[in-house]
């Protein structure tokens, strides 16, 4: 019957309507799995999970309320799922063989798993010379989000004034580099002086400000955008979005990628934006997006981004936390402003 492994996985114990999810909401449990090819169903593969992508949108699937991002809520007792890299252990599908490394957009947040092969997005070929964590950052969810937000929806021109909030986060670090490749002037906001230094030195931002120190956002935007804002990639919502609407140029575009400052609140407690009337006079287009609607462009994106990575034009910073047990703290770190770049959980060695 083949070898049996003990596999730990994260499941939803109770919903977390507000605040940062904790160990009452998410718990680890263990199950026994037979991973050998002859033990798994036809058309399935068994995987050792290598890396898990920790993304802010996961938090919106734990509230018990379908609003905001409107992604299906996890059920109580259901295993959490996430974008992941896995290594094939057993296969009942001819396309995949033992040892293949694969990308799975919605994998169980587990040490091992058995999944339908149709849920695999693609194989990762070691020959590209791109390290595995890049597939979850610049080439994964945040990189794709940055590309849709800046390239597809923002569509800035050379010389455009581009503003990016949460600039030192996983999306912001990539988005800034994409806007620089397009010849824009790029300014970011982030939560510490050290992070401002980082986005300028490592990710090519022209300048940036610490929103905790320059907390009068209107004054800060007046200072950093004397010629107004043409494109804004919003990752935070709330007061920052409101202030941006006081500094937009005619026909500005605002791409709404997510609003990390608002995820831990029920909607009636979120910060209201009072100056939407400015969108009329300045003829602003504001558009929200979810990656699922852009999967048909993923190939274009991946090809473009692989080129940038190989040419050294895009780099990413990955914070790798070791062990599946680190997931809960990793998720919480997204909301604490402690992290920089992409947060990844390394479940097993590649």
To the nearest whole angstrom, how small is the minimum distance from the Cβ of residue 55 to a copy of itself?
A: 13
- In this structure, are residues 159 and 206 in contact, taking their beta carbons and an 8 Å threshold? no
- Which one, 278 or 318, has the nearer CB to a copy of itself? 278
> How many other C-beta atoms lie within 10 A of the C-beta of residue 262?
18
To the nearest whole angstrom, how small is the minimum distance from the Cβ of residue 149 to a copy of itself?
A: 11
- Which one, 232 or 327, has the nearer CB to a copy of itself? 232
Residues 6+ apart with CB under 8 A from 70: none
Q: How far is CA 142 from CA 1, 169, 280, 305, in A?
A: 41, 9, 31, 12
Q: How far apart are the C-alpha atoms of 67 and 65, rounded to whole Å? A: 6
To the nearest whole angstrom, how small is the minimum distance from the Cβ of residue 74 to a copy of itself?
A: 16
Residue identified by tokens 């898990």 is 52
To the nearest whole angstrom, how small is the minimum distance from the Cβ of residue 320 to a copy of itself?
A: 28
DSSP 282-330: TT-EEEE--GGGGGGGHHHHHHHHHHHHHTTS----EEEEESGGGHHHH
Q: Which residues contribute to the site for a copy of itself (CB under 8 A)?
A: 60, 67-71, 237, 241-242, 246, 251, 256-259, 262-263, 267-290, 293
Residues 6+ apart with CB under 8 A from 134: 140, 309, 316, 318
- In this structure, are residues 62 and 16 in contact, taking their beta carbons and an 8 Å threshold? yes
- Which one, 186 or 291, has the nearer CB to a copy of itself? 291
To the nearest whole angstrom, how small is the minimum distance from the Cβ of residue 291 to a copy of itself?
A: 10
- Which one, 164 or 345, has the nearer CB to a copy of itself? 164
Helix (H, G, I), strand (E, B) or coil at 40: coil
Residues 6+ apart with CB under 8 A from 292: none
- Which one, 65 or 77, has the nearer CB to a copy of itself? 65
- Residues pairing with 87 in the sheet: 48, 101
To the nearest whole angstrom, how small is the minimum distance from the Cβ of residue 334 to a copy of itself?
A: 16
- Which one, 40 or 171, has the nearer CB to a copy of itself? 171
- Which one, 121 or 279, has the nearer CB to a copy of itself? 279
To the nearest whole angstrom, how small is the minimum distance from the Cβ of residue 283 to a copy of itself?
A: 5
């Amino acid at each position: 019957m083949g070898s049996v492994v003990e596999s730990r996985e994260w499941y939803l114990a109770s919903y977390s309507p507000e605040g940062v999810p904790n160990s009452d909401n998410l718990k680890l449990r263990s199950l026994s799995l037979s991973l050998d090819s002859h033990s798994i169903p036809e058309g399935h593969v068994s995987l050792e999970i290598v890396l898990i992508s920790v993304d802010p949108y996961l938090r919106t699937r734990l509230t018990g309320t379908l609003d905001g991002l409107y992604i299906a809520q996890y059920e109580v007792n259901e295993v959490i799922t996430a974008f992941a890299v896995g290594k094939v252990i057993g296969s009942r599908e001819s396309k995949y063989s033992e040892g293949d490394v694969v990308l799975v957009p919605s994998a169980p947040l587990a040490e091992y798993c058995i999944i339908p092969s149709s849920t695999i997005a693609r194989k990762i070929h070691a020959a590209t010379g791109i390290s595995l964590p890049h597939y979850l950052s610049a080439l994964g969810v945040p990189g794709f989000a940055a590309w849709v937000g800046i390239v597809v929806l923002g569509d800035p021109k050379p010389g455009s004034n581009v503003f990016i909030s949460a600039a030192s986060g996983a999306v912001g670090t990539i988005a800034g580099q994409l806007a620089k490749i397009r010849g824009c002037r790029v300014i970011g906001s982030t939560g510490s002086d050290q992070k401002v230094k980082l986005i300028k030195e490592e990710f090519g931002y022209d300048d940036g400000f610490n929103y905790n120190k320059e907390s009068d956002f209107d004054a800060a935007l007046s200072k950093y955008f004397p010629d107004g804002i043409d494109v804004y990639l919003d990752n935070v919502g709330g007061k920052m979005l409101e202030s941006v609407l006081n500094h937009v140029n005619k026909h500005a575009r605002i791409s709404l990628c997510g609003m990390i400052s608002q995820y831990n609140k029920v909607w009636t407690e979120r910060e209201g934006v009072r100056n939407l009337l400015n969108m009329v006079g300045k003829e602003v287009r504001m558009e929200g997006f979810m990656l699922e609607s852009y999967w048909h462009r993923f190939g274009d994106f991946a090809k473009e981004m692989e080129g940038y990575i190989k040419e050294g034009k895009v780099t990413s910073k990955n914070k790798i936390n070791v062990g599946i047990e680190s997931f809960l703290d990793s998720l919480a770190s997204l909301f604490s402003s402690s992290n920089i770049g992409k947060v990844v959980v390394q479940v097993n060695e590649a």
